[in-house]
Amino acid sequence: MSTKTSLMRSVVAVAWSFFGIRKSSEFQQDIEKISPLHILGVGLVAGLLFVIGLIVLVNLVVAK
């Protein structure tokens, strides 16, 4: 499996985890095919983007 496919699958898995919904069969496939390092990296970037988005949103609301 290529790194690009694994990275994209990691992005999708992390996105679903933010919503908290995932089929157990797809979760098992993710465990078999995704590198934990990819999950960690994508999760940190997604969390950082989420926090930055909240900060920007709060600043926009407070500024008005």
DSSP one-letter string for 6-42:
HHHHHHHHHHHHHHT---HHHHHHHHHHS-HHHHHHH
pLDDT level of residue 1 (50, 70, 90 thresholds): low
- Tell me the residue length of the chain: 64
Kindly report, residue by residue over 5-36, the tens digit of the pLDDT: 778 888 888 888 888 777 777 777 777 788 88
Total-model pTM: 0.74
